[in-house]
Amino acid sequence: MSMYGASSPRTKKRCLRPPSPPPLETVYFAPDGDTRLFLTSPDTSDKERPYIIFVVSSQVMELMSDEFKPWLKRRACYTEPNAVTSAQPILMPDDDARGMEVLMNIAHLHFYRVPAQLELERLSAVAQVAHAYRATKLLRPWWRGWWDAVKSKALMPGCEEVLYVAWAFGEEETFREIVDRLILTVKLNYDEECVTPDEIVVSSSKEEGKRFPPNIQGLIHHGRSTALERLLQACYELVDEYLTANEQRTFCCKNKSHQNACDSVALGSLILSLQEAELWPERKTHEDINWSVSELLAKMQDFKVTFPEGHSETCGMILARFNTFLNDFIQSERYRVTLDSEDTKDWKIQIDRKKAELTGNRDESSKRGSGYASDGSPTLHW
């Protein structure tokens, strides 16, 4: 007994029984649906309700995609639907509920619930779910309006997820533009993963919180390595030009009596610039560099090469050619990815097929093989 008197029996009973968790949020796509989908709730702040339930029709899901058939019990076409309380549960914790909601509304003919526009993050979720369940064709009436609303963000920092949507919707031009920008701007972390200037890991792993096309790291790694090697090759060719200079082959155009001295001064200052840029004395390859292509380019553009007094205007032609190469590098095709090469043709095939699924038009270029691995990702050759 406490100083306030005996405790109420009802109070004791309540203390022995923990409070029941609140019921899970439930969304009905079929009032008499025979299947319940348990997805991770988009409201991550509600720790007591980690899942959201979608009540759906198994027959609609089977018609929507063959991918669902192994999960669903075999039912005759005209059997009476079960009560929702006994509906078959299916756990889908890896699928985004925001994307699945749009897809289920389309599949169950609730077109009035389908938004005319979607913000980028939700559109990316819709594209991911549609790709995962081979249901991209269901998006035909809406995809163009959705895409038009987000494509202007394609090259905005922090909006790299537009790349996934461009890939999923077969928008080749935008896909290439974003890949080209990533090739220039990503650096490598300690795990040799591509990381954007905003520290976003370019990975198809959902753990990173962003969506990127499957195997996209391989494509960006390939383009980045090629661009770095071309810059490094031009850099060390410039050094070799000065190292191999002699009395018969000199870059000095001012005074024959000072030719060797002129070349030596230029070479010495160039070597100092290389050392400051950590590109000398060991000659680097792309495997030695974690910087982005843009960072390496900026280091090279900052080289300071000096000449004897009165020689700079006449003896710097080779340096001028090098600087012209650097200035033209971004505008040139030297680093840009092409989807028509042997190494990347499967990306082209896959993007064409994605566009055909959405438009219903399949040209000959999209019939040259599947371009898909068993998991739906492009098959690559590097």
Q: How many residues does the chain have?
A: 382
Q: Which of 342, 314, 362 is nearest to 137 (CA)?
A: 362
Q: Where are the domains of the chain?
A: 22-114, 117-177+342-382, 222-329
Residue pair 48/20 in contact (Cβ under 8 Å)? The answer is no
What are 79-111's pLDDT values in tens digits?
444 444 456 788 888 899 999 999 999 999 999
pTM of the model: 0.79
Highest mean pLDDT among 85-89, 276-280, 327-331: 276-280
Res 3 pLDDT > 50? no
What are 74-83's pLDDT values in tens digits?
443 434 444 4
C-alpha dihedral over 106, 108, 113, 114, to 10 degrees?
0
Beta-carbon contacts of residue 148 (< 8 Å; ≥ 6 apart)? none
How many C-beta atoms lie closer than 10 Å to residue 61's C-beta? 26
Q: Tell me whether residue 101 is exposed, middle or buried, using C-beta atoms within 10 angstroms of its C-beta: 0 to 12, 13 to 18, 19 or more.
A: buried
How many C-beta atoms lie closer than 10 Å to residue 227's C-beta? 24
Q: Which of 305, 319, 306, 308 is nearest to 255 (CA)?
A: 308
What are 215-259's pLDDT values in tens digits?
899 999 989 999 999 999 999 999 998 888 765 566 666 666 566
C-alpha dihedral over 128, 131, 133, 138, to 10 degrees?
100
Lowest mean pLDDT among 96-100, 192-196, 303-307: 303-307
Residue pair 367/357 in contact (Cβ under 8 Å)? The answer is no
